[in-house]
Amino acid sequence: MSADSSNKGWVVTFAGTGINLALGILYTWSIFKQAIKHSMEKGGPGSFNWDPATLNDPYAVCCIVFALAMILAGKVQDRIGPRVTALIGGVLVGLGFIWISQTTGYASWVLGFGVLAGLGIAFGYGSATPPALKWFPPAKTGLIAGLVVSGFGLASVYIAPLSKYLVGIWGLQNAMLFFGVAFFLVVCGLSLLLINPPPGYKPADTRISGQPLKAAIGEEAGPARMFRSGSFYLLWLCFFIGSGAGLMVIGSVAGMAQASLGEMAFLAVAIMAVGNAGGRIVAGVLSDKIGRKKTLTIMLLFQAALMFAAIPIMATGSAVALVILATLIGFNYGTNLSLFPSFTKDMWGLRNFGTNYGLVFTAWGVGGLVMGRLSQMLQTATGSYTSSFITAGVMLIIGGALTFALKKRPRPIEEKLAPLVARSVIEDRAKREK
């Protein structure tokens, strides 16, 4: 890989990270939900008047729309490139937030935050990772995927306190207007930096006897072939469990922290975001070293242990323990977002990566919808999160067991040929020395 190509690859990588730093506002929903709940309790003209059981609905709908739209976004990205795809995403997210800034209606928030913003997040997020991966060799797949998606997880570090501040001085509606305009400008601006490598570009991978080898390219397969693979369904189910359990906590963490931290509950959201982003990078690097399968098994079982540990921790009311718990849960959840795109690239290649990962990513949306809605219903019915944690913990243990059925990554074409290439280089050198 030339220095110029490497520089372009890093520009694309950090542009994608920047786009995700804006789109990660999804993870700050618990802050907005608390403001809506406070408005409902206060009442009066212009207040929100929703059924308490529906408080998570805009967030849950956004998750499912985001996931389903990833299929369309992936196809658009594969056909016309990442730049236009991300630009569409910036426009849609901006429109969605500007719309909800003008209303307190339940249906309008579901459509504005859930549908429009969900579509925009899908187009922006779906166009950030593929071009970055194409600039780098397979040995860096986990690292690059982790860096790009870390922006999405890290977003709450600044959005949570900023949201709390803006809601306090301007009110929820004006805060939404600010975010709509700001993220329209940021996402659309950074989209101009997203470019694919030129046709025929192959990143250098390793060197044998001073001779560069072409990058290992995964076995190329489209959606039809992917659907015929049992690994797809196992991956989908593991992603559903891992993401659903994490999103259940992320969507409600501000409410959980309210009793312990009071007005500073937004800090739990911000600190958890550090864990979320860190998990994406650590899992990406670790999976490059020990393999995706081992890394996924470790993270799912660790997350299960945290869910069961959350029950006594919540009972103690300790603010410090709660923040540590939220950070670790965020860390484990974040690992999903770098592991599964890496799995997808390893197993089915880059040619149809946008579409293929869009299909795999539907598991994230279904998990968020099912677990987010279930968590709110259980909390409303019981007044606690105990049932939600038990349900999530059991599901995560099942997910950890399912990983043992995953097949090893199919050996890439050039990886299969690498021993032959190495032997040929050695033989040629021996002949020259004679």
**CATH at residue 242:** 1.20.1250.20
Would you call 208 helix, strand, or coil by DSSP?
Answer: strand
Provide the residue range defining the domain that includes 276.
3-44+52-195+213-412
Would you call 249 helix, strand, or coil by DSSP?
Answer: helix
**Which residue reads 């939220």 in tokens?**
326
Burial 41-53 (b: 16+ CB within 10 A, else e): eeeeeeebebeee
Report the pLDDT value the prediction gives residue 214, as an integer from 0 to 100. Answer: 38
Q: Is residue 144 one of the residues assigned to a domain? A: yes
Alpha-carbon span 27 to 216, nearest angstrom: 35
Q: Is residue 429 one of the residues assigned to a domain? A: no
Residues in the chain: 434
Q: At what angle do helices 266-290 and 292-316 cross, to 10 degrees?
A: 160
Q: Is residue 38 one of the residues assigned to a domain? A: yes
Report the pLDDT value the prediction gives residue 415, as an integer from 0 to 100. Answer: 45
Report the pLDDT value the prediction gives residue 325, as an integer from 0 to 100. Answer: 84
Alpha-carbon span 96 to 110, nearest angstrom: 10
Q: ∠ at Cα 259 (254, 264), nearest 5°?
A: 55
Q: Is residue 430 one of the residues assigned to a domain? A: no
Neighbours of 390 (CB within 10 A): 15
Would you call 214 helix, strand, or coil by DSSP?
Answer: strand
pLDDT of the chain, 434 residues: tens digit per residue: 555 666 888 999 999 999 999 888 887 887 888 889 888 888 777 788 888 878 888 987 888 898 889 999 988 988 899 999 999 999 999 999 999 999 888 999 999 999 999 999 999 998 998 899 888 888 888 888 889 988 887 887 888 888 888 988 998 999 999 999 998 999 999 999 999 888 877 776 544 334 343 334 446 778 888 888 888 999 999 999 998 887 777 656 556 666 666 666 667 767 777 888 888 899 989 988 888 899 999 999 999 999 999 889 877 777 778 778 888 888 998 899 889 998 998 888 888 888 898 899 899 888 877 887 787 787 778 777 788 888 889 999 999 999 988 875 544 444 444 444 445 545 555 555 55
Using alpha carbons, select from 133, 110, 51 the residue that is nearest to residue 345.
133
Helix/strand/coil (H/E/C) assignment for every residue in 2-51: CHHHHHHHHHHHHHHHHHHHHHHHHHHHHHHHHHHHHHHHHCCCCCCCCC
Q: Give me the number of domains the chain comprises.
A: 1
Report the pLDDT value the prediction gives residue 296, as an integer from 0 to 100. Answer: 93
Q: CA of 284: how far to CAs of 74, 99, 192, 293, in Å?
A: 21, 37, 26, 12
Which amino acid makes up residue 199?
A: P
Alpha-carbon span 134 to 123, nearest angstrom: 18
Q: Is residue 128 one of the residues assigned to a domain? A: yes
Q: Is residue 132 one of the residues assigned to a domain? A: yes
pTM (2 d.p.): 0.76
Structure tokens at 96: 């969605």
Report yes or no: 161 and 274 within 8 Å, Cβ to Cβ: no
Report yes or no: 256 and 314 within 8 Å, Cβ to Cβ: yes
Q: Is residue 217 one of the residues assigned to a domain? A: yes
Q: ∠ at Cα 246 (242, 252), nearest 5°?
A: 155
Q: Is residue 427 one of the residues assigned to a domain? A: no
